[in-house]
Amino acid sequence: MPYTKELRIASLAVQRATILTQRVFHEKVKGTLSKDDKSPVTIGDFGAQALIIQAIKYNFPEDEVVGEEEASTLRESPDLIEQIWKLVQGARLGIDEKDSKVEKELGGPFRDPDQMLNAIDAGNSAGGSKGRFWALDPIDGTKGFLRGGQYAVCLALIVDGEVKVGVLGCPNLLVDDKAPLSADVSDTRAERHQRGVLFSAVYGQGATSQPLGTDDLLPHQSIHMKTPSIKEAIFCESVEAGHSSHGDQALIAEKLGITKPSVRMDSQAKYGSVARGAGDLYLRLPVSATYVEKIWDHAAGCLIVAEAGGVVTDAEGNNVDFGQGRTLAKNKGIVATPKSLHEEVIGVVKSVLSAKRT
C-alpha cells in the first residue's frame, strides 16, 4: 500500500511527542516565550517539534518540513534549552527505552542539545505545490494545552500540493469513538487511561482511530462520519473568538435549524471528533478579511475528515489548497461536514457572509 512507511513513522513520531507534551503539562513546566504574533509558546512546542523532525529526517532525509516553531529566540535562553533537553531525553517509546525497537525506527536519542536545536530549525521549509514536505504543528491549541483543555500534535505529508498522510495525537480526547462530544476533560468524567486518541489517514485508504500508547502502535479501527438530519447536527467551533467568528457561526446554525449548542474546543481535535461521528459540522469562519490560515493548522485534520466520508472546503465551497506555501493563501474559512449536508451548509454560509458584505 502506498505511504505505509510514512504513516507508521508519522504515527510513532506523534505518539512519542504526546508523551513529552503530557509530561510537560503534568509537571507544570510551562516556561513560555512570546512569538511575533503574541501567541504563547511552551517548551512542549519546542520539544515536540524537535522529536518529530528528528524522526522525519532520519527516515526521509530529503523531505522538508513546514514547522510552526524556530529556535532563534530559544538559543538565547540557556535555562529553557536545559529544560527542553531533559524532557526530550525522557520522551521515549518502549518498555526497555535503551534498547527499544520503535525508538531505533525514529532515529534514537539526540546526541546533544545542538542537534536538538538544529532539528527545531529544520522546520523552515517554504512549502509549495511541488515535491514532498511535512506540515507540523507540535502543539495545536497552545492555550487549550496550557489550561488543561483539548490540544493536538499534528503532522501531515503533502506531495505536490495534496495531503497524502495525516496524523493527529489528541491526549485529552476520550478513547471511545462513541463518547458524546465534549470539550470537558474533567477527571470526574473518565479516568486518565480512557483518554488519548491517535487519528490517522492515508489518501484513498480511509481513516482510523486508536488509543495513544507508550510503545509500539496499538490496534486501530476505522472511523466514519455520521449522516444526521441537519436539525440534529452537532457543530464544533474554536474556543478563541480571534480564530473564528462565533457570531456568524451562531447565525448559520440558527438558519440551518440546529438547536443544540455548539461545542467549543481548541485544536484539530475538532477534526478528529467530527471524523469519528462525535460531532457533525466544523465551522471556522474568517474573523477579518486579512486573516490567513496556516497549513499546519488544517492539513492533517482535513485529510482525516475527507477519508472518514466528509467534505472539507473553504467558506465559498472551494477545495482547500495546500500548495500555496506556508499559508492557505487562496482560501477563507473552513467548513467540514458530511457529504450529504455540505451543499446545504455551504449555501447558508455563503448567504450569511454575503449579507455582511452588503
Active-site residue set: 45, 142
Torsion of CA 25, 67, 177, 270, to 10 degrees: 90
For the record, the C-alpha cell of 189 comes out as 468524567
For the record, the C-alpha cell of 212 comes out as 495513544
